[in-house]
Amino acid sequence: MIISIASGKGGTGKTTLAINLALSLEKNVQYLDCDVEEPNGHIFVKPTFDEKKSFGMPIPVVDFDKCDYCGKCGEICEYNAIVVIKQNVLVFPDLCHSCAGCWLVCPQKAISTKDKEVGQLELGNRNGIEFIHGKLNVGESLSPPLIRAVKEKMDPTKTVIIDSPPGTSCPVIEAIKESDFVVLVTEPTPFGFNDLKLAVEMVRKIGLNFGVIINRADVGNRDVHDYCTRENIPILMEINNDRKIAEAYSRGVPIVELYPEYRDKFLALYQDIERRVGA
């Protein structure tokens, strides 16, 4: 079963939920941190990494013995990442999206490719949890290919927990699209409510089964609760605001290690999700 933990905005406790669920399940779990711009699940899961791979994307290399400066590569590039100026073809690796347009269009077959590293993939373990994350290099902005690379490591015989990037844009959809169930984490504040509505719209559009977890449920107002009732969205769990949880979080200590009794709550959450997926 594939469960994604997502959130319309950052800072709602999405990662906290994902790691505590994974740690509660203990066995046969795979944790995929797809929040590749800011992966932080490893701080809590504390896996031992035993494999590190560079992740690269192809960029063009021009063979000037074959090039006749026709300009076609520059015309097709949406990003001005390859520009033909007089008797010169310039490539700007930081602008290239690796769309392959230039090397496919080149009439002289003058363009080959080389890989440019955009991030790394790290694979590790902690007890029964197989941990995989992608780390996008600073300054890179194109995360979906790296998210795909993380997901290629997915093992469907395990319970897969995906920590999605925050928001509702392409990288999120890339992370969650094959999930059996999506957990949307929110807060009962006006901002939280607004972002939740956008996230609900997104998962409904993709057609995924989903439910909501309300974090810091006792601060803010009842708008999120009322909305979920009105829209027939299950509220799977509510976690009250607790200074100790927040403090432990800042030291990299998950809730289930602070309050072992929470383990049962997360197991119940898992069983609830299992039932909803089965139904």
Residues at the contact surface with other proteins, assessed by CB under 8 A = 74, 77-81, 83-86, 88, 90, 92, 94-95
Rg (CA), the chain: 22
Residue 67 interacting with ligand SF4 (CB under 6 A): yes
Residue among 108 and 194 whose Cβ is closer to ligand SF4: 108
Render the burial of 236-269: b for 16+ CB within 10 Å, e for the rest.
Answer: bbebeeeeebeebbeeeebbbebeeebbebbeeb
Site string for ligand SF4, 182-221 (x = CB under 6 A): ----------------------------------------
Contact flags string 123-162 toward ligand SF4, x per CB under 6 A: ----------------------------------------
Contacts of 152 (CB under 8 A, 6+ apart): none
Identify what 67 binds: other proteins, ligand SF4, none; CB under 5 to 8 Å per kind: ligand SF4
- CB 248, CB 254: distance < 8 Å: yes
Cβ proximity to ligand SF4: between 105 and 123 the closer is 105
116 binds ligand SF4 (CB under 6 A): no
C-alpha 62/C-alpha 90 separation (Å) is: 9
Q: Which of 45, 5, 7, 27 minimizes the C-alpha distance to 269? A: 5
Residue 83 touches which of ligand SF4, other proteins, none (Cβ within 5-8 Å per kind): other proteins
Using the rule CB under 6 A, which residue among 68, 201, 218, 247 binds ligand SF4? 68
What is the rounded distance in angstroms from the CA atom of residue 191 to the CA atom of residue 31?
28
